[in-house]
C-alpha cells in the first residue's frame, strides 16, 4: 500500500500566506471641521449679501466656506433652509435692546433705531439689505423668512407703541404702522444712499441721525419730546 503524500503548496500559495499585502495609503480627504455650521452661516450671509438670492447655492456656500459639499447637504436640504438658519443665528448674536423699567418711549425707539442702523452698517449689512428685495421678488421661498426675520422686529416695536397709545404717551389717533414705517424706512434709506468718505464716518454720524429722526416722528404725531 503506497502512503499518500501530503499536498505540496505551490510557490504562489506560500508567498500569498507569508506576505500580507501592504495597505494602500490614501491621501487625506477634506478635514472635518467642528465649526461647520458657523463657517456655513458666515459663507451664506456673505454670498447672499454680494450675489443676492439668484447667485446663492449650496455648492457655492461649501466652496466659499471650505467645507465638503456632503457636510452641507447632510444638514440643509436647500439654500432657503440654510439662509433661514443663518439669519436665526445672527439674530441670537445680535444685541437687541431690552426695555428697562421706567424707560421712556423715546429712549426705547432711539435704542432700537441705533441698533438697527448698526446692523445695516455691520459685517452682514449687505445680506440684511438684500433680504427685503429678495422677499419681495420671491414671496413663496421667503414666506417663512419674512414672518420670522423681517416682521418680528417691527412687531415687537408695534407692541411698545400700542402700549404708549393706551398709556397716553402718544395721542389716541397715532397710526402705529405708519409711525414705525417712517422710522424703519428712513434708517434703511439713509444707510443705502449716504456716501461718506468712510464707513466709520457714517457710523459716527448715525447716532445723531437716528436720534433726530425719532424726535421728529414723535413731534409729528403730537408727542412731547
CATH number for 42: 1.10.10.60
Domain count, the chain: 2
Most confident listed range (88-102, 119-133, 139-153, 163-177) = 163-177
Residue 149 is predicted with a pLDDT of: 62
The answer to whether residue 203 is domain-embedded is yes
Please report whether residue 28 resides in a domain.
no
Q: Tell whether the model's pLDDT for residue 77 goes beyond 90.
A: yes
Residue 16 grid cell: 500569498
Q: Distances from the Cα of 52 to the Cαs of 21, 72, 85, 140, 176, in angstroms?
A: 53, 19, 17, 16, 31
pLDDT at 183: 94
Domain that holds residue 170: 102-145+153-220
Please give the helix or strand (H or E) that residue 17 lies within, else none. Answer: helix 11-18
The answer on 190 and 106 residing in a single domain is yes
Q: Quickly count: other Cβ atoms within 10 Å of residue 170's Cβ.
A: 21
Query: Does 6 fall in a domain?
Result: no
Q: Is the Cβ–Cβ distance between 184 and 150 less than 8 Å?
A: no
Do residue 135 and residue 163 come from a single domain? yes
- Verify that 135 and 202 share a domain, yes or no: yes
Q: Is residue 26 part of a domain?
A: no
176 and 128 in one domain?
yes
Compute the radius of gyration of the chain from its Cα atoms: 30
The rounded mean pLDDT for the chain is 82
pTM for this one? 0.74
Same domain, 130 and 216: yes
Show the cell assigned to 218. 414723535
**Per-residue confidence (pLDDT) for residue 132, from 0 to 100:** 85
- DSSP-derived secondary structure for 36-77: HHHHHHHHHHHHHHHHTTTT--HHHHHHHHT--HHHHHHH-S
Quote the DSSP letter at residue 168: T
pLDDT of residue 1: 47
- Does residue 159 sit in the same domain as residue 202? yes
Out of 48, 72, 91, a domain closes at 91
* Residue 96 grid coordinates: 437687541
Which pLDDT score is estimated for 225?
81
**Cell triple for 210:** 437716528
CATH of the domain at 137: 1.10.357.10
Grid cell for residue 189: 434709506
Question: Read out DSSP for 84-119?
Answer: HHHHHHHHHHS-PPPPPTT--HHHHHHHHHHHHHHH
Residue 5 maps to a domain: no
Nine-digit cell at 171?
395721542
Does residue 20 lie within any of the structural domains?
Answer: no
Cα(127)–Cα(132) distance, rounded to whole angstroms?
A: 9
Asked if residue 159 is part of any domain, the answer here is: yes
Q: Please report the pLDDT score of residue 141 as a whole number.
A: 86
Nine-digit cell string for 3: 502512503
Q: Which residue has the higher pLDDT, 10 or 141?
A: 141
Whole-number percent of the chain with pLDDT over 70: 79
Q: Are residues 78 and 172 in the same domain?
A: no
Q: Are residues 57 and 127 in the same domain?
A: no
Alpha-carbon distances, residue 125 vs 121, 129, 222 (angstroms)? 5, 6, 33
Amino acid at each position: 500500500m503506497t502512503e499518500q503524500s501530503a499536498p505540496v503548496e505551490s510557490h504562489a500559495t506560500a508567498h500569498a500566506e507569508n506576505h500580507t499585502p501592504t495597505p494602500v495609503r490614501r491621501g487625506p480627504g477634506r478635514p472635518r471641521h467642528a465649526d461647520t455650521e458657523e463657517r456655513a452661516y458666515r459663507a451664506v450671509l456673505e454670498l447672499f449679501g454680494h450675489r443676492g438670492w439668484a447667485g446663492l447655492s449650496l455648492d457655492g456656500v461649501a466652496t466659499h466656506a471650505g467645507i465638503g459639499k456632503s457636510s452641507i447637504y447632510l444638514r440643509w436640504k436647500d439654500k432657503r433652509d440654510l439662509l433661514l438658519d443663518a439669519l436665526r443665528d445672527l439674530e441670537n448674536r445680535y444685541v437687541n435692546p431690552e426695555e428697562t423699567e421706567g424707560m421712556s418711549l423715546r429712549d426705547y425707539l432711539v435704542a432700537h433705531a441705533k441698533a438697527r442702523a448698526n446692523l445695516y452698517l455691520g459685517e452682514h449689512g449687505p445680506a440684511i439689505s438684500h433680504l427685503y428685495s429678495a422677499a419681495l421678488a420671491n414671496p413663496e421661498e421667503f414666506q417663512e423668512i419674512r414672518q420670522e426675520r423681517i416682521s418680528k422686529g417691527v412687531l415687537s416695536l408695534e407692541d411698545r407703541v400700542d402700549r404708549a397709545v393706551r398709556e397716553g404717551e402718544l395721542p389716541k389717533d397715532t397710526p402705529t404702522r405708519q409711525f414705525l414705517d417712517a422710522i424703519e424706512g428712513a434708517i434703511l434709506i439713509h444707510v443705502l444712499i449716504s456716501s461718506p468718505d468712510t464707513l466709520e464716518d457714517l457710523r459716527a454720524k448715525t447716532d445723531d441721525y437716528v436720534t433726530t429722526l425719532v424726535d421728529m416722528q414723535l413731534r409729528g404725531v403730537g408727542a412731547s419730546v
